Amino acid sequence: MTTLEPSQPGISMADKIALIDRICGQARILPVITIAREQDILPLADALAAGGLKTLEVTLRSEHGLTAIRLLREQRPELCVGAGTVLDRSMLAAVEQAGAQFVVTPGCTQDILEAGVESPLPLLPGISSASEIMMGYALGYRRFKLFPAEISGGAAAIKAFGGPFGEVRFCPTGGVNPGNVKQYMALANVMCVGGTWMLDSSWIKNGEWARVQACSAQALALLD
């Protein structure tokens, strides 16, 4: 089992935190993907990977989300493929069966947080307030997605959270772009960022995979 593979049932929260750290540390920028057409799954993933983005969050915002996760795990085992927009236990169970290697939620409820504790997959809960961090913290979570990041206070909010929550680190998503990505990544309590600016819908619709690749490479170059 590689360091990016899901662990077996009974994995501790500490081990899940360490796994999230490895996943996010390798990713730095996590493309948040919504698949509109099944035919785009492999060429889009290949273009992102060619640009250096090899850790992907495939959302369940379309009917092709689970198909994409299954196909990528089967056909592109070198990539790290997570599931996004997971809203409840049934969706969590579905992405586990599809082979997702990590799970991201846009928000948190007590039920989904508890389901994440029970799951063999590491879960990155979405939060936008200190109270939500505390809900997760009480169950052992120390890694969160700030969403929607810019609307929820952006880099200033994450810096402020560092005071009361010294052990917590974040993946800000929502409004992250080439103009502010360095500001986020400069924060000690940011482990990676989620973004969509390398996923222009017209490029994907027209099969302009070279543009996706170039934009992905440029995104990573901003952090060097």
Q: pLDDT tens-digit profile of 153-164? A: 999 999 999 999
What's the pTM value of the predicted model, to 2 decimals?
0.94
Which tens digit of pLDDT belongs to each residue from 17-57? 999 999 999 999 999 999 999 999 999 999 999 999 999 99
Cis bond before residue 148 (omega within 30° of 0) = yes
Q: Is the pLDDT of residue 5 over 90?
A: no
Cβ atoms of 185 and 223 within 8 Å: the answer is yes
Sequence ranges of the domains in the chain: 13-221
C-beta separation of 121 from 73 below 8 A: no
Marked catalytic residue, from 16, 54, 145, 150: 145
78 in catalytic set: no
Structure tokens at 112: 């989904």
Annotate 50-77 with b (16+ C-beta within 10 A) or e (fewer): bbbbbbbbbbbebebbbebbbbbbeebe
Known catalytic residue at 145: yes
Could you read off the pLDDT of 202-214 as tens digits, one per residue?
A: 999 999 999 999 9
Distance CA 119, CA 103 (A): 10
pLDDT in tens, 87-132: 999 999 999 999 999 999 999 999 999 999 999 999 999 999 999 9
CATH numeric code, 13-221: 3.20.20.70
Catalytic residue from among 16, 57, 132, 150: 57
C-alpha of 40 from chain center:
20
